[in-house]
């Protein structure tokens, strides 16, 4: 920012300052449209005293349909053959110089922003006339100005050749620096967009390109160097570039800003502005093909002002909602305020600083600050987004690593549990079978059959506990009923089921946990409780709490230390904790009751 201010400070000090000394010589006369006097009649009116000097001449005048005549005198000079008279108004609608020396009247070239642009005669961006000063007689200069569209800029310079060339050189140097700044920002943003794969940033880079075109057009450089032979571009390129720039800016806002879920109206505001620019651009295409619509740019500027005004309000709203930083809104508003201020402010010619701030230079200075602040916002947004991405990726990798470790840990636990179950259950049976086969006693076949029956029953229990059906909210109850029916088919106990749940949507993980808990508690009750009846109850309370009860009429938990160890309470408790539930155990001599309460929506 400091570099930009240091770069633009000399620009503000010199650019297009008025030459107060010439205004001491100037007198003027305004005539209505129907009073179309020729130069001879104008000279007569001057000699009659009709021309008057202004006490405090100002830079701008609104002529409307009137014709403005300006007079000043140029003394003869032996040192300089010419004086350069310049009006710093690239788009002067009509200007013509008449020279009176003694009784003779001559005319210099006519300039017009429609036909005869000034650079065709003198290689410069503004209307400039070479006034001969090698005569012994004083030269009276009469300038005729006509401009029906808006304000007329009357910023005059009367210089010798060295002064003129020095001013032109200084102006063009700083114009080149400003263009270099805009071009460098375009390249930086383009490179950044491609490097970071944030291609929406290219919309803003293209917007800066339209700002470059507008600068070239506004300062008369475009006509001087690039499109002097195209009447369409001469008269339309400035407003056309502003329209295209508004559309590109709207696309950038719409695609780059991070809108919240409730900011649909804000998105619609930007989208509407973009849509409005499309027919404007289509009409420009029509003008290119068929011509006409000379004052169309005035309509375009009104529509663009309305679009920009709604976008200003939208930016303030997004800032209020903390979707955008405050400095970004200030950056957006500054060029708009600069344009409004430049159009309203009309200083007198002796106010050098006021002359600078009255013109478009304020807008270009504000535009440079806007581009810098928006570039900072783009860099911060993209870099912060990528930082968040890498941070989330790191967290994701850590979670993935922890999950894999946890999965391996659970797998090892399940494997160890399975090995323990196989060893405790089948190992004893195999050892008993081995001893029985080695003994040569009576009744051996019956004992062997008894061992094999017990072996087969525990084998079925183990398979049932390891079975893992695909369970979800829709088939949960059906899977539980199937589970109970299988148990009833090969157990001596009476398994009773009562499942009363409806109109609830359980997560699949919760269904699996509940199925495993029921399987664990029921299988262990069959194996260790010595009960004749086992009840499995599942019901809901106020659609908020799910209640599971597994009840047996066996020997109770506390009377059998082996049962206490083998009941798998650790796994049951862990599953209940994962579902944020509560486990209660009520064990007596006549049985054990497990009651689990699970929140449905947790």
CA distance 135 to 68: 27
CA triple 75-77-83, angle to 5 deg: 75
pLDDT value of position 293: 80
| Secondary structure class of 489 (helix, strand, coil) | helix
Q: pLDDT-based confidence at 275, cuts 50/70/90?
A: very high
Q: Give 576's Cβ-side CA count (13 Å radius).
A: 23
Q: pLDDT tens digits for 399-443?
A: 777 666 766 666 666 666 666 556 555 555 555 556 556 665 555
Range in 91-105, 174-188, 229-243, 558-572 the model is least confident about: 558-572
CA distance 251 to 292: 30
pLDDT above 50: residue 12: no
Range in 21-30, 140-149, 343-352, 540-549 the model is least confident about: 343-352
pLDDT value of position 418: 62
CA distance 189 to 187: 6
pLDDT value of position 206: 93
| Secondary structure class of 586 (helix, strand, coil) | strand
What is the model's pTM? 0.61
pLDDT value of position 123: 66
pLDDT value of position 355: 75
Label residue 203 exposed, middle or buried (CB < 10 Å: 0-12, 13-18, 19+). buried
pLDDT value of position 13: 41
Q: List the end-to-end C-alpha distance of the chain, in Å, as a whole number.
A: 53
Contacts of 97 (CB under 8 A, 6+ apart): 85, 107, 108, 109, 129, 131, 141, 142, 143, 144
Q: pLDDT tens digits for 192-244?
A: 888 888 888 899 999 999 999 888 888 888 877 787 777 788 778 888 888 99
pLDDT value of position 186: 92
Q: pLDDT-based confidence at 9, cuts 50/70/90?
A: very low
CA distance 130 to 123: 12
Q: What percent of the chain has pLDDT over 90?
A: 7
538 alpha-carbon distance from chain centroid: 52
Helix (H) or strand (E) holding 596: strand 591-599
pLDDT value of position 585: 87
CA distance 253 to 255: 6
Q: pLDDT-based confidence at 6, cuts 50/70/90?
A: very low
Q: pLDDT-based confidence at 564, cuts 50/70/90?
A: very low
Give the mean pLDDT of 461-489.
Answer: 71
Q: pLDDT-based confidence at 98, cuts 50/70/90?
A: very high
CA distance 141 to 147: 20
Q: What percent of the chain has pLDDT over 70?
A: 79
Strand partners of residue 84: 130, 159
Helix/strand number for the chain, H first, E second = 17, 15
pLDDT above 80: residue 145: yes
Range in 19-28, 438-447, 469-478 the model is least confident about: 438-447
CA distance 67 to 88: 19
pLDDT value of position 570: 78
CB 576 within 8 A of CB 582: yes
pLDDT value of position 209: 92
- Tokens at 297, concatenated: 């740019």
DSSP string, 221-239: HHHHHT-TT-HHHHHHHHH
Strands of the 582-588 sheet, one edge to the other? 494-500, 533-541, 545-552, 591-599, 582-588
Helix (H) or strand (E) holding 511: helix 508-528
pLDDT above 50: residue 47: yes
Helix (H) or strand (E) holding 431: helix 361-438
Range in 267-281, 310-324, 343-357, 459-473 the model is least confident about: 459-473
CA distance 309 to 383: 30
Q: Which residue has the higher pLDDT, 572 or 118?
A: 572
The Cα-based distances of 88 to 23, 156, 245, 304 in angstroms read 14, 6, 26, 26
Q: pLDDT-based confidence at 102, cuts 50/70/90?
A: confident
């Amino acid at each position: 920012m400091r570099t930009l201010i240091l770069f633009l400070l000399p620009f503000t000090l010199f650019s297009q300052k008025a030459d107060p000394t010439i205004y001491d010589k100037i007198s003027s006369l305004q005539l209505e449209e129907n009073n179309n006097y020729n130069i001879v009649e104008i000279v007569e009116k001057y000699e009659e005293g009709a021309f008057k000097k202004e006490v405090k001449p100002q830079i701008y005048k609104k002529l409307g349909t009137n014709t403005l005549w300006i007079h000043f005198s140029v003394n003869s000079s032996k040192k300089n053959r010419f004086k350069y008279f310049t009006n710093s108004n690239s788009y002067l609608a009509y200007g013509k110089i008449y020279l009176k020396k003694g009784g003779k009247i001559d005319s210099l070239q006519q300039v017009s922003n429609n036909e005869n642009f000034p650079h065709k005669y003198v290689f410069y961006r503004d209307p400039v006339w070479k006034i001969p000063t090698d005569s012994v007689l004083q030269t009276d200069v009469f300038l005729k100005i006509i401009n029906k569209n808006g304000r007329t800029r009357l910023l005059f310079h009367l210089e010798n050749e060295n002064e003129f060339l020095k001013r032109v050189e200084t102006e063009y140097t700083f114009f080149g620096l400003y263009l270099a700044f805009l071009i460098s920002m375009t390249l930086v943003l383009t490179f950044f967009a491609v490097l970071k794969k944030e291609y929406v940033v290219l919309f803003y880079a293209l917007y800066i390109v339209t700002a470059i075109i507008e600068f070239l057009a506004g300062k008369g450089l475009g006509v001087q160097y690039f499109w002097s032979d195209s009447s369409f571009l001469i008269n339309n390129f400035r407003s056309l570039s502003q329209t295209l720039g508004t559309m590109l800016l709207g696309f950038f806002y719409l695609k780059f800003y991070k809108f919240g879920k409730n900011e649909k109206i804000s998105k619609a505001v930007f989208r509407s502005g973009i849509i409005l620019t499309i027919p404007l651009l289509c009409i420009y295409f029509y003008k290119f093909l068929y011509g006409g619509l000379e004052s169309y740019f005035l309509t375009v500027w009104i529509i663009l002002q309305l679009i920009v005004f709604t976008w200003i309000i939208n930016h303030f709203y997004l800032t209020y909602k903390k979707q955008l930083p405050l400095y970004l809104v200030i950056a957006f508003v500054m060029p708009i305020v600069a344009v409004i201020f430049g159009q309203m402010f009309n200083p007198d010619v002796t106010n050098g600083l006021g002359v600078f701030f009255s013109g478009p230079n304020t807008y270009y200075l504000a535009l440079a600050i806007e581009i810098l602040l928006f570039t900072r916002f783009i860099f911060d947004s993209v870099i912060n987004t990528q930082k968040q991405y890498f941070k989330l990726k790191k967290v994701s990798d850590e979670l993935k690593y922890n999950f894999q470790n946890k999965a391996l840990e659970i797998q090892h636990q399940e494997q160890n549990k399975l090995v323990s179950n196989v060893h405790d259950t089948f190992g004893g049976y195999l050892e008993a079978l081995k001893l029985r086969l080695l003994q040569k006693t009576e009744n051996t076949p019956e004992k062997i059959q008894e061992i094999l029956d017990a072996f087969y029953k525990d084998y079925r229990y183990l398979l049932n506990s390891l079975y893992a059906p695909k369970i979800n909210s829709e088939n949960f109850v059906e899977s539980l009923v199937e589970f109970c029916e299988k148990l009833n088919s090969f157990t001596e106990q009476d398994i009773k089921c009562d499942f009363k749940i409806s109109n609830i949507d359980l997560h699949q993980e919760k269904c699996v946990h509940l199925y495993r808990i029921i399987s664990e508690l029921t299988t262990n009750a069959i194996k260790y409780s010595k009960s004749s009846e086992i009840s499995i109850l599942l019901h809901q309370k106020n659609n908020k709490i799910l209640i599971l009860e597994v009840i047996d009429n066996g020997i109770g938990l506390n009377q059998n230390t082996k049962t206490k160890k083998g009941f798998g309470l650790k796994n049951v408790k862990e599953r209940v904790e994962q579902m944020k539930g509560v486990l209660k155990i009520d064990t007596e001599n006549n049985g054990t009751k497990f009651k689990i309460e699970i929140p449905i929506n947790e």
